[in-house]
Structure 1
Amino acid sequence: MLDRPLSPPPVEVIVAVTQALHREARLLDNEDFEGWLAMLGEDIGYLLELKSRRFRADRSKPLPLGPGVIFNEDLGRLRLRIDRLKSGYVWAEDPPNFIRRAVSNVEVLATRAENEVQVHSVLVMHRNRIDGTTRLLTAGRTDLWRSEGSAWLLAAREIVLDHAVLPDSNLNAFF
């Protein structure tokens, strides 16, 4: 997805991008989807693939199509997902679930483009449904953030869940 990182960016960039990650989590926790969409680049790529687990001794070639994709979204598809959530027809989200995101292990790295950085982070998402069911989802993320004017916008995100089997009946939430 991203170029090999170069030297670390200036501290001001690291602080600004880390703040953007925390703001993004707060907006999503508060279901401020319009605020979140404003943080996305027009060319956003948002990818969550299924993780494949193989024995270390397995030397066979991986499947040509990979294990599968849960999300492979652009800005238009992300808007559709949000419109669907707002429609009131998503029974699993009415009433809304309690969701809290914690972002940690943030590492900001320079790329060849002056206005872009590669960001690695860990997301822990706590989700509680009306029936009391609680799920804890963890994922690693690799992002590309782009500076446009005074704002940092998310240009690409690859999400890797730390679960061999999805621990929930649906994934309406954003990572």
Structure 2
Amino acid sequence: MSADEGLDMLPIAQHLALTQALYREARLLDQERYADWLALLADDVRYRLPLASRRFRADRSAALAEGPGYVFDDDKGRLTLRVQRLESGLVWAEDPRNAVRRIVSNVEIYRADGDGEAVVHSVLEIHRSRIDAQQRRLTAARTDRWRDTQGHWRLVARDIRFDHPVVIDSNLNVFF
């Protein structure tokens, strides 16, 4: 059986609504509309970026049971604090404002085990330009869980996997 067999796709209307939610989320973050972005998050959200763990293919030693750790492992309270910090005007790396653009692609959506929930796989590319003409391009794969609550999709969990073996920027003042 292939890895994709048996995956249950959502009805087209729900699929389109959830895809639009991903695109809207990217636009809200690009426009620094953080309060609107936080409203897309479920109260029990979990938002994580694990540390990269790359091994040679020939390495047959056992993987670490707990993994190497996380760059961040946030709940809604911690995400709200990060937003408040960005909105404080005291983040020197964001003054003047960085030009940030998010591109969401390779979206796959499947029904999750939980009632009214969906698993979403996507690829995110973030372009960021600073005043000093320094440009960064960050790429990552995301695996999300979204929940339909009274006709509105809410992000419940996001696991981000950097394509880079190390964080290639001096700061991560962006949301993925």
Please give the range of the TM-score, normalised by the shorter of the 2 chains.
over 0.9
How many Å apart are 1:96 and its aligned residue?
1.3
Provide the residue aligned with 1:159 in structure 2. Answer: 160
Q: Give, in whole Å, the separation in 2 of the partners of 1:40 and 1:150.
A: 14
Q: Give, in whole Å, the separation in 1 of the partners of 2:114 and 2:75.
A: 22
How many Å apart are 1:27 and its aligned residue?
0.1
Residue 140 of structure 1: SS of its match in structure 2? strand
Query: Residue by residue, what CA displacement relative to the aligned partner does 1:63-107 show, whole Å, maximum 9, x if unpaired?
Result: 344223111000000000000011111111111111000000000
Q: Does the aligned pair in 2 maintain the 1:6–1:112 contact within 8 Å?
A: no
**Further displaced range: 86-95 or 29-38:** 86-95
Residue 25 of structure 2: SS of its match in structure 1? helix
Q: Using a 3 Å threshold, how does the CA distance of structure 1 residues 33 and 66 change in structure 2: closer, same or farther?
A: same
Residue 67 of structure 1: SS of its match in structure 2? coil
Q: Does 1:57 align with 2:58?
A: yes
Aligned residue type for 2:39: A
Q: Give me the TM-score of the superposition, normalised by structure 2.
A: 0.94
Identity of aligned residues (%): 56
Q: Give, in whole Å, the separation in 2 of the partners of 1:5 and 1:166.
A: 36
Q: Give me the TM-score of the superposition, normalised by structure 1.
A: 0.95
Q: Give, in whole Å, the separation in 2 of the partners of 1:80 and 1:34.
A: 12
Q: Which aligned pairs between 1:89-168 and structure 2 lie closer than 5 A?
A: 89-168=90-169
Provide the residue aligned with 2:31 in structure 1. Answer: 30
Q: Give, in whole Å, the separation in 1 of the partners of 2:46 and 2:169.
A: 24
Which stretches of structure 1, 4 residues or more, deviate above 3 A after TM superposition? none
Q: Give, in whole Å, the separation in 1 of the partners of 2:46 and 2:53.
A: 21
Structure 1: any 5+ residue segments left out of the alignment? none
How many Å apart are 1:50 and its aligned residue?
1.2
Q: Does the aligned pair in 2 maintain the 1:5–1:118 contact within 8 Å?
A: no
Q: Does the aligned pair in 2 maintain the 1:125–1:138 contact within 8 Å?
A: yes
Q: Does 1:73 align with 2:74?
A: yes
Residue 96 of structure 1: SS of its match in structure 2? coil
Structure 2: any 5+ residue segments left out of the alignment? none
Q: Does the aligned pair in 2 maintain the 1:98–1:129 contact within 8 Å?
A: yes
